[in-house]
Amino acid sequence: MNSYFEGAIRQHLERGRQLLARVPTDLPREFHLLAQTCNRELAHILDELESLLSDPRMHLPKHQSERLRRYRRAIRQLSFLEAIGIAALERANRHDRSLNQLIEQIVNEISYPLLPPVVTALSQQYFHIYPQLGLLSVPLSEGDFLLHLPDLLHELAHPLVTERHNPRVKPFQNSLLKAIGLVLAYMAEERIKEGRRRGPSQIEFYLRQWEKSWPSWVIEFFCDLFAVYTLGPSFAWAHLHLCAKLGPNPYQVPLLRGSTHPADNARMTTILYGLENSGYSKETRDIRDRWQQLLRISGTKAEPEYRRCFPEHILKALAQIALKGITAMGCRVANPNMQDPIYSILNQAWTEFWHAPSDYAIWEKTAVKELYRLCNSRCMTESERDYTEQHSKHC
Amino acid sequence: MSDASLFSGLYQQIHEYAELLDDVLVNLKENTSSLEDKSRQELASFLLDLTNEQCEDLPVRLIALALRNNKVNLAEIADIGQALQSTEIDESDIELLEQLAQSLEQEQAGAMERMRGRSY
């Protein structure tokens, strides 16, 4: 395979160099960190590919497995950077800039312990984040509306899970570890009980699928809880909104293979425990009522497997454990008397929505403008104003 | 909210250790690896952490859980971790490291697929 590697690696080296040349140099300040990350990663990939060609050991038959793995890793990373990081840089525009100013304000407002991610409106898969690039992706027009913006807070929690060195996130990670320990202990107990009962073997199989899935579910529950503790009721409403529009069976439990996201009803139950813990009793009741109405009209019911997979005492415990981690990390926890600007606008949006649903779309247009005006006035320094003015004249 | 956020984290965590493992494997096969090698020490420590249920490093615990779900024998991994901290590395240890490298490769490729949909 030496000949293959000779040709293919040289071609990918060329591709990597071309990508490096495509990183724009006149980017707005918010994109500088992403550009640096992409440059650094591309340089690392180019070094790795060079080494696969020039290191004489890599030509020996005994190292071909390592060579193939290293080659694949480099190409995967290159393709990832091209499709995600460089693409976001190439299409950075004014709209992205508003979203970035918003995320900067959110991060300040909640005392987020890490640097804010860069936001791009390039998503084809709802909201998601790439912690290794510090890049948060949202659907193209989502920034023009308010009702789903609370989901930004859920995404902000993912890098808290993957951060390896920053000690500020340690309390959150310790809480998450504790929660994983708790649920795995519960699953182990259930398996022992099932073994004693000598019940159907399929139950034992289900329990294994749930046990496999729970670590991912705990992460998702913690991201939900981070969002609801830092933003309050608007996140719970956003979850209801998403489930009403796109949700599968809210009591769905994986039976044949593991899953990445817990059942929506379990998520809402946990979110509402979190909301209650923050002192939002009335809001918790209101959201629970609406959620029950949604469940009723969706015609779905919980099966016994659901209750066994997502027992209430575990969900309640998750909400308590997460709160300790978030508080110990120094994040600002929302409360009903809070007046912080982003918190106020995003929660006000849902109040308006329920107060006058038919007028909401008109109200929202003005509110969105007000939100970005507020973020812009807080973010923009004199020098950036000059840059924008010059740039718009030039255009 | 999508799988991308979850798998992006796993991908990132595995990538670093997969690089470390291949680096050590090359040196072991070349007989140029020594106990003082930084990468060998880091790998030994990672392997022992993987099998330690009390380990407080969350990213390492998440990799361990992912590997366990894919039927990787964590007890064997602990043995290799200890072997790397001694001079007693033999062909069978290298073979086990090779298998672990393949498992990490599969985990990482799987995580990338879940992040982006199939990428080819």
Final residue belonging to a domain, choices A328, A343, A378: A328
| Same domain assignment for residues A217 and A306 | yes
Residue A129 included in any domain: no
pLDDT for the residue numbered B69? 77
Residue A158 included in any domain: yes
The residue type at A233: P
Spatial separation of the C-alpha atoms in residues A41 and A78, rounded to whole Å: 8
| Same domain assignment for residues A156 and A294 | yes
pLDDT for the residue numbered A380? 62
pLDDT for the residue numbered B53? 84
| Same domain assignment for residues A35 and A176 | no
Domain range for residue A66?
2-90
| Same domain assignment for residues A172 and A303 | yes
Contact B29 A63 (CB under 8 A): yes
Residue A338 included in any domain: no
pLDDT for the residue numbered A297? 94
Contact A126 B26 (CB under 8 A): no
Chain pair A-B, CB pairs under 8 angstroms: 114
- CA angle at A196 for the pair A194 and A197, rounded to the nearest 5°: 65
| Same domain assignment for residues A313 and A172 | yes
Residue A348 included in any domain: no
Residue A18 included in any domain: yes
pLDDT at B118 over 60: no
Q: What's the token pair of residue A11?
A: 């071609």
pLDDT for the residue numbered A362? 96
Q: Work out the angle between the directed axes of helices B91-116 and B58-69 (0-180°, nearest 10).
A: 100
| Same domain assignment for residues A210 and A295 | yes
pLDDT for the residue numbered B2? 67
pLDDT for the residue numbered A319? 98
With an 8 Å Cβ cutoff, is A187 touching chain B? no
Residues in chain A: 395
Q: Which residues pair with A119 in a beta bridge?
A: A136
The DSSP H or E segment spanning B65 is helix B58-69
| Same domain assignment for residues A174 and A280 | yes
Rounded to a whole number of angstroms, the distance from the CA of A17 to the nearest CA of chain B is 21
pLDDT for the residue numbered B120? 39
Spatial neighbors of A81 by CB under 8 A, at least 6 apart, are: A19, A38, A41, A42, A45, A133
- Tally of structural domains, chain A: 2
Residue A241 included in any domain: yes
- pLDDT in single tens digits along all 395 residues of chain A: 888 999 999 999 999 999 999 988 888 888 999 999 999 999 999 999 999 999 999 999 999 999 999 999 999 999 999 999 999 999 888 778 889 999 999 999 999 999 999 999 888 778 999 999 999 999 988 889 999 999 999 999 999 999 988 999 999 999 999 999 999 999 999 999 888 887 777 888 899 999 999 999 999 999 999 999 999 999 999 999 999 998 889 999 988 888 888 999 999 999 999 999 999 999 999 999 999 999 999 999 999 899 999 999 999 999 999 999 999 999 999 999 999 999 999 999 999 999 999 999 999 999 999 999 988 887 765 445 545 555 554 44
ipTM of the complex: 0.91
Q: What is the pLDDT of residues B32-75, one digit of tens each?
A: 988 889 999 999 999 999 988 888 899 899 888 888 877 778 88
Mode of pairing for the β-strands spanning A135-139 and A118-123: parallel
Final residue belonging to a domain, choices A304, A328, A352: A328
pLDDT for the residue numbered A392? 55
SS3 (DSSP) at A67? helix
Spatial separation of the C-alpha atoms in residues A292 and A122, rounded to whole Å: 34
**Which chain A residues are within 8 Å of B29, Cβ to Cβ?**
62-63
pLDDT for the residue numbered B119? 35
Residue A193 included in any domain: yes
| Same domain assignment for residues A86 and A156 | no
Contact A174 B56 (CB under 8 A): yes
Read off the pLDDT of each residue in B72-83 and give the average, rounded to a whole number. 87
Q: What's the token pair of residue A17?
A: 């160099």
Q: What's the token pair of residue A235?
A: 């996140």
- B71 or B100, which is more confident: B100
- Chain B residue whose CA is closest to A181: B53
Spatial neighbors of A196 by CB under 8 A, at least 6 apart, are: none
